[in-house]
Amino acid sequence: MFIKDTDIIIEAHDLKKIYRNGQLRVDALSNINLAIKRGDMIAIMGPSGCGKTTLLNCLSGLDTIDEGDILIQGAHLGELSDQERTAFRARYMGFIFQDFNLLPVLSAVENVELPLLVSKVSARQARKRALEMLSRVGLADRARHRPAELSGGQRQRVTIARALINDPTIVWADEPTGNLDSETAAEIMDLLCQLNQENRQTFVIVTHALEVGQRAHQIITMRDGRILA
């Protein structure tokens, strides 16, 4: 029985994820049910190894599931081919990772414009949009710098600009402040909250940091592959 609320953008029903290695079986996710509304900022919290990142990867279609259903904007991820799922992510999702995942040989603006170029946007339009996004995250004067020439906070801002370049409906963030000092982490969370409020984009953030979770609209607490609260 699926939720009919049209404001619900992410749904998971009886989700299970199992890892197998020979005779060893690990239930990474067990009976996960959740519904996230459009424009919410959700923090997924819990101890290391509890399934936070696995849940994010499954909900976003980066990983497969063994049982259950995932709906994003009403679309069943399980019914999409690998190619269709990749295109769906490119169109509707942005990703922010703890280790930035920036290409070291490219400048900040080249890293940011890359998703648009892959989506066949013209080079001129991609560059214009990338410069606008870097300006929005406060890095207009660092557009030509490579990642090695940027601080950790600046690299994360480049990552955020790249994640938002396609104007995604959903932004998935895995420990977005994990490699940052407390002051820079607070600045990054200020930026994410501002973007969430201005654009009504949905943010799903995996974090172990309580100060990050407290900035979210709701905290999902996990343990041993299950949602506790």
CA distance 33 to 36: 10
Residue matched to tokens 């996004």: 133
Q: Per-residue confidence at 210, pLDDT binned at 50, 70, 90?
A: very high
The pLDDT tens digits of the residues spanning 64-112 come to 999 999 999 989 998 999 889 888 988 899 999 888 889 999 999 999 9
pLDDT given for residue 5 in this prediction: 55
Give the residue-averaged pLDDT of 29-36: 95
Give the residue-averaged pLDDT of 142-151: 95
CA distance 41 to 52: 15
Q: What is the pTM of this model?
A: 0.90
The pLDDT tens digits of the residues spanning 102-127 come to 999 999 999 999 989 888 889 999 99
Q: Per-residue confidence at 6, pLDDT binned at 50, 70, 90?
A: low
pLDDT given for residue 2 in this prediction: 42
The percent of residues above 70 in pLDDT, for the chain, comes to 97
Domains and CATH numbers, the chain: 8-224 (3.40.50.300)
